[in-house]
Structure 1
Amino acid sequence: MTASYLQGDFAPVPDEISSGELAVEGVLPAELDGRYLRNGPNPLPGRDPGSWFLGDGMLHGIRLRDGRAEWYRNRWVRTGQFAGRPFLGRSGIDLSAVAANTNVIRHAGRTLALIESGLPYEVDGGLGTVGACDFGGRLTTAMTAHPKEDPRTGELHFFGYGFAPPHLTYHRADASGELVESREIPVPGPTMMHDFAITENHVVWLDLPVVFDLEMIGTGLPYRWDDGYGARVGLMPRRGDGEVRWFEVEPCYVFHVGNAWEDAAGRVVVDAVHYPRDVFVKVLEGIGGAADPAAQAGGSGLHRWTFDPVAGSAKGEALDDRPVEFPTIDDRRTGLPYTRLYAVRHGEIVKYDTATGSTVVHPTEGAPGEAVFVPRDPDGAGAEDDGWLLSLIGSRAELRVLDARDLAHVASVRLPRRVPEGFHGAWLGG
Structure 2
Amino acid sequence: MTDASALPAEGAFFLRGNYAPVVDELTEYNLPVHGVIPPEIDGWYLRNGPNPRQATAHWFAGDGMIHGVRIEDGAAKWYRNRWVRTDSFVEAFPLYNDDGSRNLRAAVANTHVVSHAGKTLALVESSFPYQISNELETLGAYDFGGKLTNSMTAHPKICPATGEMHFFGYGSLFEPYVTYHRVAEDGELVLNRPVDVKAHTMMHDFAMTADHVIFMDLPIVFDMEMAASGSGDMPYRWSDSYGARFGVLRRDQPDAAIRWFDIEPCYIFHVANAFDDGNSIVLQAARYPELWRNDGGFGEQAMLWEWRIDLASGTVRERQLDDRAIEFPRIDDRLAGLPARYSVSVGDAELVRHDLSTGEASTHSFGAGVSGEAVFVPAAGPADESRGWYLSYVYDPTRDGSDLVILDASDFGGEPVATIALPQRVPFGFHGNWINR
What is the TM-score normalised by the length of structure 2?
0.92
CA distance in 2, matches of 1:286, 1:121: 26
Q: Deviation of residue 286 (structure 1)? A: 5.1
Task: Show the 5 A alignment for 1:249-264.
Answer: 249-263=263-277
Task: Show the 5 A alignment for 1:137-148.
Answer: 137-148=146-157
- Aligned-residue RMSD, C-alpha: 1.5
User: 1:100-123 CA deviation, whole Å, 9 max, x = no partner?
Assistant: 000000000000000000000000
CA distance in 2, matches of 1:58, 1:91: 31
Runs (5+) with no aligned partner, structure 2 = 1-7
Which amino acid in structure 1 is aligned with residue 370 of structure 2? A
Q: CA 1:166/1:394 → structure 2, altered by over 3 Å: closer, same or farther?
A: farther
Partner residue, 2:284 = 271
Asked if 1:72 is matched to 2:79, the reply is yes
CA distance in 1, matches of 2:378, 2:405: 16
Which amino acid in structure 2 is aligned with residue 411 of structure 1? A
CA distance in 1, matches of 2:60, 2:245: 26
CA distance in 1, matches of 2:216, 2:88: 29
Asked if 1:326 is matched to 2:328, the reply is yes
Which amino acid in structure 1 is aligned with residue 384 of structure 2? A
Q: Deviation of residue 341 (structure 1)? A: 1.0
Q: Deviation of residue 91 (structure 1)? A: 5.7
Partner residue, 1:220 = 233
Task: Show the 5 A alignment for 1:98-113.
Answer: 98-113=107-122
Runs of 4+ in 1 over 4 A off after TM superposition: none
SS class of match (1:116)? coil
Partner residue, 1:376 = 379
Partner residue, 2:317 = 315
Q: Deviation of residue 65 (structure 1)? A: 1.0
Which amino acid in structure 1 is aligned with residue 71 of structure 2? L
Q: CA 1:219/1:415 → structure 2, altered by over 3 Å: closer, same or farther?
A: same
User: 1:155-203 CA deviation, whole Å, 9 max, x = no partner?
Assistant: 0000001141221100000001100000101101001110001111111
Task: Show the 5 A alignment for 1:408-423.
Answer: 408=414, 409-423=416-430
Q: CA 1:286/1:161 → structure 2, altered by over 3 Å: closer, same or farther?
A: closer
Q: CA 1:30/1:338 → structure 2, altered by over 3 Å: closer, same or farther?
A: same
CA distance in 2, matches of 1:410, 1:323: 27
Asked if 1:86 is matched to 2:94, the reply is yes
How many residue pairs get matched?
414
Runs (5+) with no aligned partner, structure 1 = none
Whether contact under 8 Å (1:330, 1:385) holds in the other structure is no
CA distance in 2, matches of 1:253, 1:367: 25
SS class of match (2:370)? coil
Q: Deviation of residue 89 (structure 1)? A: 4.5
Whether contact under 8 Å (2:234, 2:296) holds in the other structure is no
SS class of match (1:9)? helix
Task: Show the 5 A alignment for 1:17-416.
Answer: 17-44=26-53, 47-83=54-90, 84-90=92-98, 92=100, 93-164=102-173, 165-217=175-227, 218-240=231-253, 241-263=255-277, 265-277=278-290, 280-281=291-292, 285=295, 287=297, 298=301, 300-364=302-366, 365-377=368-380, 380-395=381-396, 396-407=401-412, 408=414, 409-416=416-423
SS class of match (2:295)? helix
Which amino acid in structure 2 is aligned with residue 242 of structure 1? A
Whether contact under 8 Å (1:237, 1:243) holds in the other structure is no
CA distance in 1, matches of 2:319, 2:410: 26
SS class of match (1:420)? coil
Q: Deviation of residue 15 (structure 1)? A: 2.1
Which amino acid in structure 2 is aligned with residue 376 of structure 1? A
User: 1:324-349 CA deviation, whole Å, 9 max, x = no partner?
Assistant: 00000010100111211111112110
Using the TM superposition, name which of 102-111 and 87-96 deviates more: 87-96
Whether contact under 8 Å (1:305, 1:317) holds in the other structure is yes
CA distance in 2, matches of 1:72, 1:336: 34
Q: Deviation of residue 404 (structure 1)? A: 1.4
CA distance in 2, matches of 1:143, 1:236: 19
Asked if 1:426 is matched to 2:397, the reply is no
Which amino acid in structure 1 is aligned with residue 288 of structure 2? Y
User: 1:118-171 CA deviation, whole Å, 9 max, x = no partner?
Assistant: 000000010000000000111011100000000000000000011412211000
User: 1:47-68 CA deviation, whole Å, 9 max, x = no partner?
Assistant: 2232221111111010111111
User: 1:32-53 CA deviation, whole Å, 9 max, x = no partner?
Assistant: 1111001001122xx2232221
